[in-house]
Structure formats: structure tokens, C-alpha cells
Amino acid sequence: MTADQLDSTFAALADPTRRAILARLADGEATVGELAEPFAISLPAVSRHLKVLERAGLIIRGRTAQYRPCRLQPRPLGEAAEWLEDYRLLWEGSFDRLEDHLRQVQKGRRSD
């Protein structure tokens, strides 16, 4: 996996409509019209989001001329999760660290 792939995966995920589209496609393939339905945005706006997802390799479009159904390609999501996995021990400990930090802040204030 290249840095470029991670860049485009994370950039594609940085939008609530695109995340909702992926969530819908996790249930099975859908046409642009079906994907647009739950959103208060135009078909062209949905198409732009689909292009971002397609360039990031997160979806593919079918060949069927009229419908071109979209299908989720989940592998880049797995690669993004793998990158985050390296930090698991840190975030699992972060509640403890937040406590430590607050204790230090309090200690700092007391010694001011």
C-alpha cells in the first residue's frame, strides 16, 4: 500500500455524505439514483462524491450502460484500519492518560 492510497482513502472518508454512501453500499450495490434518494442533494452532487470514492478505489461502477450500479470495494478500508491499528495501545490507554494529564494540570496550578 502506498502513501498516496492512504491519502486518497482518508480524504474520501472525510465527508459525511461519502461515508453514508459507503454505508449504503455495504448492504449491496445501488444505482446513482438509489444512492441520491436519502440525501437532500442533487444527482450531480452525488456523482461528484461517487467520483471521489471511485478514484480512491472504494467503489467500482458496473458496465451496464443505463444503470452503472455502484459496488463497494472494501480493501482500502482495511488498509486504513491497519494504519490506525498501530495506535491501538495508545488510544486504549488514552482515558488513563487524560486522567494523568488532568492531575498534572492540577498539580501545576497548585504550584503556581
Which residues of this chain interact with a copy of itself, rule CB under 8 A?
3, 6-11, 13-16, 19, 22-23, 26, 63, 72-75, 77-78, 80-81, 83-88, 90-94, 98, 108
Least distance between a copy of itself and beta carbon 42 (Å): 20
Among residues 46, 41, 43, 37, the alpha carbon closest in space to that of 18 is found at: 46
- φ/ψ of residue 16, rounded to 5: -65, -35
Least distance between a copy of itself and beta carbon 1 (Å): 12
**Residues 68, 25, 45, 9: what is their CA dihedral angle, to the nearest 10 degrees?**
-110
DSSP-based three-state secondary structure for 71: strand
Q: Judged by CB, which is closer to a copy of itself: 83, or 106?
A: 83
Least distance between a copy of itself and beta carbon 95 (Å): 8
